[in-house]
Structure 1
Amino acid sequence: MARSQKKPRPAGPPSARLLSRTLKTTFGLDHLREGQQAVIERVLAGRDTLAVMPTGAGKSLCYQLPALLIEGRTVVVSPLIALMKDQCDKLAQQGVAAVQVNSALDGTESREALAAVADGTARIVFTTPEQLANAGFREQLQQHPIGLLVVDEAHCVSQWGHDFRPAYLEIADAAQALGRPTLLALTATATDEVTRDICQQLAIPAAGVFNTGVYRPNLHYTVELVTDDTHKLERLKALLVGLEGSGIVYCATVKAAEAVHEALLLARESVALYHGRLKADERRAAQDAFMEGRARVMVATNAFGLGIDKPDTRFVLHWQMPAGLDAYYQESGRAGRDGEPATCTLLFLQRDKAVQQFFMAGRYPGLDELDALYAELLRAPGQTLAQLVERLDIPRTKLQVAVSLLRRLRIVGSDADGQLRLLKETLDSQTLHRLASEYQARRENDRAKLEQMVDYAQSGHCRWRVLLQHLEGEASPGDCGTCDTCRRLAQHQAELKRESAAA
């Protein structure tokens, strides 16, 4: 087994002149934004950092610029393959040696990427948390020093976050195996609770948290109440006719995305489709069509969008509500990244709440499922996750959460081939009960978040005020003046003034 490389010694932060020259020659920028400056300076000084910055604030530059200036390569962990492709394409255009390593690559692409990892020519390596958990891949990364480990979409680390991914729980262990390089975690959404959890999971000190705020005045929020799916489709078509530029229509399920896509094709809309069940080449073609402007509208599940940089996206429409306000802010925030006005509309149908309730029911394992998993590994060690899915009557998502938790607690271990074995031959029922009760608390947390999403849709208050109250723990000092409720109130007040003047 390859030995872990030591963390490269900081050679001292680069000069302001070198930083400025690299920023200009590679990225074509004259200056950094306010939030970027502080984060980049801290990373270059070798200090672990969590940056909470709104969508469109330039989070990617916070690791791309340091990656060219520090000793050692940079490894970027991302939850979505679409993000890696987008980032790699842009970096290649800028002359930066970047590769992606994930399950969507074909044989030739995978061999070329792994060769660049092995020989050290890849300056930036993008990968998924699942890939990073693979011992064989980590051994390849260990062949050359790593100066920076980036955890993008870091809210996925938190089990209290809106988009928790079980594989993210293993990043802390991977960081140790890679020599504990400087760590930069990035997210656009993190409540105080989620921020604390991220810092605890990744051992980031409280002083390393930078939160630049989430308010974006160019985003104009609207909710339309609809009575049924037929009414909803009529409104969607009408909205698309009235909206200029390109945009995204988000659906909560693959079935809904396919149905909406077909309906818009019949309406002669310029539209593409993206969801996780499509083949890799189909997803790539859809993404390219949208990014290059050949498709005006992208109909997608939340598999599309994290980190996708299409600054001129003028609208984001939600066909179904997401699981909570964190997710809604994240997804709607993909509009208007160029700073120009953009529209964010939720088509609210009360019964759509049941879709998210269905997802919640299959998210966390209970006591019986944890017990069944432990008993199966005790009976037949060496099984992979796929084999366990076949042998146990437990949904894959629940099994993945349970396995990740038991690995993190050193109850279960795995080899390079993903074969799982118990590290503890006995496990008392009290420990299992404690684990199950923790997940019960998370179920209750998810239910509360869904109710907040419904309250937002039905609220008569400023949309931004409601969002900021949730995301930052305090309401904005004033109403935004641009959301539907603010415009409605302004119109009502204007009518009262006219009536008063007429009287």
Structure 2
Amino acid sequence: MRSRAPGHNGRSMKIPVYGPRLRKVARKHFGWSSLRPGQFKPMRAVLRRRDALVVLPTGAGKSAIYQIPAVLLPGPTVVISPLLALQQDQIAALNERDDPKIRAVRVSSAETPAQQRAAIAAVAAGEAEFLFITPEQLSDPERMAEVRALKPGLVAVDEAHCISAWGHDFRPEFLALGDLIKGIGRPPVLALTATASPPVREDIIERLHLNKPEVHVSGLDRRNLFLEAAYCPDEDYRWRRLTSLLDAAERPGIIYVPTRRSAEELAARLTDAGYPAEFYHGGMAAGAREQKHEDFTDDKVDIMVATSAFGMGIDKPNIRWVAHMALPDSPDSYFQEIGRAGRDDEPAQALLLWRAEDEAIQRFFTGGAPDEVELRELAAAVRSGPATKAELKEKTGLGPRKLSAYLALLEEVGAVVSGRGNRVTVPVFAPLPAAAASAAVKAHERQQVLDRSRTDMMRGFAETRACRTQTLLAYFGEELAKPCGHCDNCAEGSAEEVESASGDEPFAVHSKVRHPEWGAGMVMGYEQDRVTVLFDEVGYKTLSVPVVVENELLTAQ
């Protein structure tokens, strides 16, 4: 996401030595008169050459956390992010300042070999500070050697949740990033994300091989965003609630739907009803997607009906509302999607219109176990010699989507690795094909259990009579001391009665516990007489506190 000038909330933070230097760079090189308090501590970690993981909501100026310290650090900064459009936005924002100290270049599949060589040369000559690059480029040993020779002072990994199979936007090509960063000299690493629940954070730290990182989580309570959820007894009611929003609220806005077909059908129905709308989904041609993305960004489209494919890279400050026409698959996805509203700090609205039937759709999406025999044959095919995906498709007869999914599972259990020229190879000490297939099936089953538990948590959020922000933040392992005052339950007064837990909770929030059947877990939060625990093996569970205490179901670890 493009870094914009962060707002000021009237408070100042005294950071010895670093504060004045950071503010001076912000003013001189970026034109920002002030910084948000949530940015200072992570910036200080960067200047101290510490690894850090930063969780800040969409639009809170995450990019500034690496951009400003980069000016003060020796050596260039390497930026790794998952989307070329996202990179292009950030590069344009940096280069429009016409300041050699913050000039950015890119090496990706979008550049010709000559442009790639020119980019590397510009960084080597000190004519550019930021090198944006993709994991695929770094996986080429020659390219890795070139980047290593630049002696980078910092690596920033944007949208870091993409490295986690527990995350909602997992990218298999990110799996090798920890080793790739080691290959370019292992400078300090700054991992950035807008949404990361505790298991995702732990996964990011492990997969990027972060060394005793500082973890900074802040600003998750978006005070300008009004949260509302409404149960819809039938589709007619859901339609009426949506059109009421469209009649009352300013535009533009985004309507999220669960399937490609529903995106097309709802956009057509809205247009016919006098609400001109466009649709967007992953099944469209790349050119058509880019055009619609651009039209929405340029205020040529007021209402965009989209699947979750309409996501990262939307850098638009004036989105006034985000509506969900079904339960999202998880609070992770929901939080990321509603975070696109109100990035200009003006009032915005998030409306969730849900039905019990929505869960059946999510169960369908999380279904479909992998075939252990096919996995074993694929692992054996890779073991017979390095191969491209096209060659493996030919050898195994697997379709492209299934092949990619299977390779991701095998890579997760250490059976294969993507190497030079996107060739798939077998790492040293890899499990044999039969063991690899068995481990991959178990990894998939664990993921399914977690996915189902996250859907359950989303249902819990939709049904709660407590403060919605407290409920949502508890999922991310964060506590809000009192009701937010900007959700429907707070507005109705129903959240007041659960302003805080009883005060004599048997286990502290974030403490480790063990259940005789479900194993180890972490206490995430309390709501009235219920406690939510995230278990390593079975995901999220909500338990009755009196039952837990009476039967000694949980023990402190």
TM range (shorter): 0.7 to 0.9
Q: 1:445 aligns with which of 443, 450, 474?
A: 450
Q: Which letter maps to 1:168?
A: F
**Equivalent residue runs for 1:40-59 within 5 Å:** 40-59=43-62
Cα displacement (A) at 1:59: 0.8
Deviation at 1:422, TM superposition (A): 3.4
Q: For 1:471, which of 476, 483, 504 is the aligned residue?
A: 476
Partner in structure 2 of residue 91 of structure 1: 94
The aligned amino acid for 1:440 is: E
State the partner residue of 1:360: 366
Q: Over residues 90-118 of structure 1, what are the superposed CA-to-partner deviations in whole Å (9 max), with x where a residue is unaligned?
A: 22322342244445x3x66x753553234
**What is the aligned counterpart of 1:485 among 482, 489, 493?**
489
2:27 is aligned with 1:24: yes
Determine the C-alpha separation between the residues in 1 that align with 2:342 and 2:449.
Answer: 34
d(CA) in 2 for partners of 1:491, 1:165: 38
Which of 413, 427, 431 is matched with 2:432 structurally? Answer: 427
Say yes or no: does 1:123 pair with 2:132.
no
Q: 1:133 to 1:357 in 2, by over 3 A?
A: farther
Deviation string, structure 1 residues 408-433 (Cα, Å, up to 9, x no partner): 66643454222223356971744543
- Given the superposition, is the C-alpha separation of residues 15 and 36 from structure 1 closer, same or farther in structure 2, using an over 3 Å criterion? closer
Of residues 174, 181, 191, the one that matches 1:185 is 191
Work out whether 1:403 is the aligned partner of 2:413: no
Residue among 370, 375, 382 paired with 1:377: 382
Q: Residue type matched to 2:432 in 1?
A: L
Distance in 1 between the 2:496 and 2:182 partners? 60
Take 2:488 and 2:20, find their aligned partners in 1: how far apart are those partners?
47
Measured after TM superposition, the shift of residue 477 of structure 1 is: 2.9
Q: Deviations over 1:244-267 (max 9, x none)?
A: 132222233333323333333334
Query: Match for residue 255 of structure 2?
Result: 249
Deviation at 1:398, TM superposition (A): 5.0
Contact 1:222 1:344 in 2 (8 A): yes
Q: Does the residue aligned with 1:264 lie in a helix, a strand or coil?
A: helix
In structure 2, the residue matched to 1:63 is 66
CA distance in 2, matches of 1:220, 1:77: 33
1 or 2 for the larger relative contact order (CA 8 Å, sep ≥6)?
1
Give 1:222 shift: 1.1
Deviations 1:136-167 (A, max 9, x none): 54355345232221111222222222332222
TM-score normalized with structure 1 length: 0.84
CA distance in 2: counterparts of 1:164 and 1:419, whole angstroms: 20
Amino acid at match of 1:447: R
**One-letter amino acid of the structure 1 residue matched with residue 119 of structure 2:** A
The DSSP-based 3-state class of the residue aligned with 1:51 is strand
1:86·1:308 contact (CA, 8 Å) conserved in 2? Answer: no
Identity within the alignment, %: 37
Q: Write out aligned runs for 1:253-264 (5 A).
A: 253-264=259-270
Secondary structure of the corresponding residue to residue 220 of structure 1? strand
Aligned match for 1:72, one of 72, 75, 83: 75
The whole-number CA distance in structure 2 between the counterparts of 1:100 and 1:209 is 28
Match for 1:47: what amino acid?
A: R
Q: How many residues align?
A: 475
Equivalent pair of 2:413/2:440 in contact (CA under 8 Å): no
Contact 2:465 2:494 in 1 (8 A): no
2:230–2:353 CA contact under 8 A, matched in 1: yes
Matched residue, 2:309: 303
Aligned AA for 2:389? L
Cα displacement string for residues 215-247 of structure 1 (whole angstroms, at most 9, x for unaligned residues):
222211111333455553443333222111322
1:2-13 matches, cutoff 5 A: none
Residues 1:29 and 1:258: Cα distance change in structure 2 (over 3 Å): same
Comparing 215-224 with 85-94, greater Cα deviation is found at 85-94
Write out aligned runs for 1:111-150 (5 A): 112=115, 115-120=118-123, 121-135=127-141, 137-150=143-156
> Which amino acid is 2:375 matched to?
L
1:284 corresponds to 2:290: yes
Matches within 5 A, 1:342-353: 342-353=348-359
Matched with 2:319 is: 313
**Partner residue in 2 for 1:457:** 462
1:315, CA displacement in angstroms?
0.8
- Structure 1: which amino acid aligns with 2:376? D
Contact 1:272 1:289 in 2 (8 A): no
Counterpart secondary structure, 2:35: coil
Counterparts of 1:68 and 1:336, CA distance in 2 = 30
> 2:549 is matched with which residue?
none
Aligned equivalents of 2:426, 2:239: Cα separation in 1: 51
Separation (CA, whole Å) in 2 of partners of 1:127 and 1:275: 26
* Inter-partner Cα distance in structure 1 for 2:394 and 2:489: 50
RMSD of aligned Cα (Å): 3.2
Deviation at 1:460, TM superposition (A): 2.7
Q: Letter of the aligned partner of 2:334 in structure 1?
A: Y
In 2 relative to 1, CA 140–230 (structure 1 residues): closer, same or farther, beyond 3 Å?
Answer: farther
Alignment correspondent of 2:182: 176
Match of 2:202 among 196, 202, 208: 196
Q: Unaligned regions of 5+ residues in structure 1, if any?
A: 1-12, 494-503
- Match of residue 334 from structure 1: 340
User: What one-letter code is carried by the residue in structure 2 that aligns with 1:479?
Assistant: P
Which whole-Å deviations, capped at 9, do the CAs of 1:167-190 have from their partners, x for residues lacking one?
Answer: 221110110111112200011222
Inter-partner Cα distance in structure 2 for 1:237 and 1:130: 44
Q: Give the aligned partner of residue 266 of structure 1.
A: 272
Residues 488 and 21 of structure 1, relative CA distance in 2, 3 Å threshold? closer
Query: Aligned to 1:162, which of 162, 168, 177?
Result: 168
1:77 is displaced (CA, Å) by 1.9
Q: Which amino acid aligns with 1:438?
A: A
The runs of 5 or more residues in structure 2 that have no matched partner are 1-15, 498-557
